[in-house]
Chain A
Amino acid sequence: MIKILNLKKQYGERTVLNIPELTVNKGETVVVVGPNGSGKSTLLRILAGILSKTDGEVLADGEIYYMPQQSIPFSKSVKENILFSAKDSKEIEKRCDDILSELSLSHLANKKAKKLSGGECQRLALGRIIINQCDFLLLDEPTSAMDIEGTEIIESVIKKYKQETGCGILMTTHSPKQAKNLADRVIMLHEGQIAEQGSPDELLSNPQTNWGKKFIDMWKIDT
């Protein structure tokens, strides 16, 4: 599992993240929601080792893969991007072709990745991650650039990958629908702190704090 204890991140005087305790178990999907600037990306980046923490502890038993909010395509073809990202070369061609077709990128396999559209690029970014076996997956807004169909594709690929590998997933989203669809547990961040947490149904129907109520009311308009 990934275990966080008294995690703090400060920029100068300003605390942008303050989490007393958070655990992500293997086989569990935890979805982090919250408005812009609430600290979602900061949390994932610290877990991925991109950012240093100001204080606290992060423990993880297993390999973590992380897909940033803006994943950069390499100057290679779509297929080469995936092959280049694979650690293990066993049956690599077949695995790669399967992933391309799951993400409906097969027809773009030989296209230069730099020329993909935003949504295609994001699907490729997920493909580069899931060519690998991992224990934990950190996904920062994996469907932010997606249309409805693309969102469905990504969600089903994430579900399938979790089923096959039994990995734990910590991801962020701005979509209530996605949180409902994927989450075992939802964490609501507000100014770097956990304002609410619970199962998607619990949280959506019965928020505990005033701020949580307001946030969820806005969400309900959206669904």
Chain B
Amino acid sequence: MNMDSELLQIIGVTLRMSFFSTVISCLIGMPLGVLIGKSVFKGKRTIKKLTGTLMGLPPVVAGLIVYMLFTKYGPFGSFGLLFTVEVMVIAQCMLIIPVVINLTESMTEINAKKLIETAKGLNFSKLKTSLLLLSENKQSLLSVVLTAFGRSIAEVGAVSLVGGNIQWKTRVMTTAIMLETNKGNFSFALALGIILLLISFVVNILASALVREDEE
């Protein structure tokens, strides 16, 4: 009984964290990606290399940086956010935003130029063009969102560092799996892993139903 309610609570924290990490990363990363992708300027290649490099940032390093920023005597220590879900989301955004920027940017580069030329030729407003750009790219934008979500829900290094894996508070699926494995409860750890996969599966199904193109 207690076990079940704890499991539900862990799933809840996991979903809440992944949801906010994904949404915030996409809100920041997608507009930046589109902006970089469709404009031409010096230093664009450098930015590409930078986001590419940051995509490979080890989660524990991101965790360490955020930890140092939010520790009691760190620059943001006064917020008292260390070992909360909020700071886990912040650490994850550091990992996910470069991924979102990079993917959105490549997608925009391939696709957007000709579409913008077509829209400009029809004298569409900036707003109408932007909305068109989004709706014409919803499939690829969705896969960016799903990649962000996948990275967030599967991540363990950063969230265990800054979240502390505190029972009833910051414990998520991945850190719970780590703990159970360390305790030798392999079958329980495996069950948690399967639940994690199921969640991912359901999210993917829901998401693709959302943007399905009807065939004709």
Residues of A within 8 A of B (CB): 45, 48-50, 63-68, 70-72, 74-75, 85, 87, 110-112, 115, 125, 128-129, 132, 138
Contacts of B6 in A (CB 8 A): none
One of B43-51, B115-123, B169-177, B178-186 at the interface: B115-123
Complex contact B120–A66 (CB within 8 A): yes
A63 touches B123 (CB 8 A): yes
B136 touches A65 (CB 8 A): no
In Å, the complex CA distance between A50 and B118 comes to: 10
Interface of B toward A, CB cutoff 8 Å: 114-115, 117-118, 120-123, 132, 135-136, 213, 216
Q: Which residues of B contact A45 (CB under 8 A)?
A: 117
Contact A48 B121 (CB under 8 A): yes
In chain A, what residue has the closest Cβ to B115? A72
11 contacts between A and B (CB under 8 A): A48-B120, A48-B121, A50-B117, A50-B121, A63-B123, A65-B122, A68-B114, A68-B118, A75-B135, A75-B136, A110-B216
> Which of B132, B136, B216 contacts A111, CB < 8 Å?
B216
A85 to B118, CA, bound (A): 10
Task: Give the A-B pair count, Cβ closer than 8 A.
Answer: 43
The docked-state distance in angstroms from the alpha carbon of A100 to that of B71 is 66
The binding surface of chain B is classed by DSSP as: helix
Q: Could you say which of B114, B120, B213 contacts A75, with CB atoms under 8 Å apart?
A: B213
Q: Which A residues are CB-close (under 8 A) to B117?
A: 45, 50, 68
**Complex formed: what's the CA distance from A87 to B121 in Å?**
13
Q: Give the one of A45, A67, A74, A111 with max B CB within 10 A.
A: A74
Top 6 A-B residue pairs of the complex, sorted by shortest distance between their CB atoms: A66-B121, A72-B118, A68-B117, A72-B115, A85-B122, A72-B114
**Which residues of chain A have C-beta atoms less than 8 A from B114's C-beta?**
68, 70, 72
> When the two chains form their complex, are residues A129 and B121 in contact, meaning their CB atoms are under 8 A apart?
yes
Which single residue of chain B is at the shortest CB-CB distance from A111?
B216
Whether the Cβ atoms of A65 and B123 lie closer than 8 Å is: yes
Q: Which residues of A contact B135 (CB under 8 A)?
A: 75
| A3-B114 Cα distance, complex, nearest whole Å | 26
Least distance between A26 CB and chain B CB atoms (Å): 18
Alpha-carbon distance A168/B120, docked complex (angstroms): 19
- Contact indicator B136/A71 (Cβ below 8 Å): no
Please measure, in the bound complex, the distance between the C-alpha atom of A18 and the C-alpha atom of B117, giving whole angstroms: 23
Checking B121, B132, B213, B216 against A65 with a beta-carbon cut-off of 8 angstroms, the contacting residue is B121
Q: Is the CB of B120 within 8 A of A74?
A: no
A112/B122 in contact, CB under 8 A = no
Closest-by-CB residue of B relative to A129 is: B122
- The interface residues of chain B lying within 8 Å CB-to-CB of A49 are 120
Give chain A nearest CB distance to B128 CB in angstroms: 9
Contact A67 B132 (CB under 8 A): no
A60→B120 CA distance, assembly (Å):
16
Q: Considering the complex, give the chain B residue whose CB is closest to the CB of A49.
A: B120
CB neighbours (8 Å) of A65 from chain B are 121-123
Once bound together, how far apart are the Cα atoms of A204 and B122, in whole Å?
Answer: 34
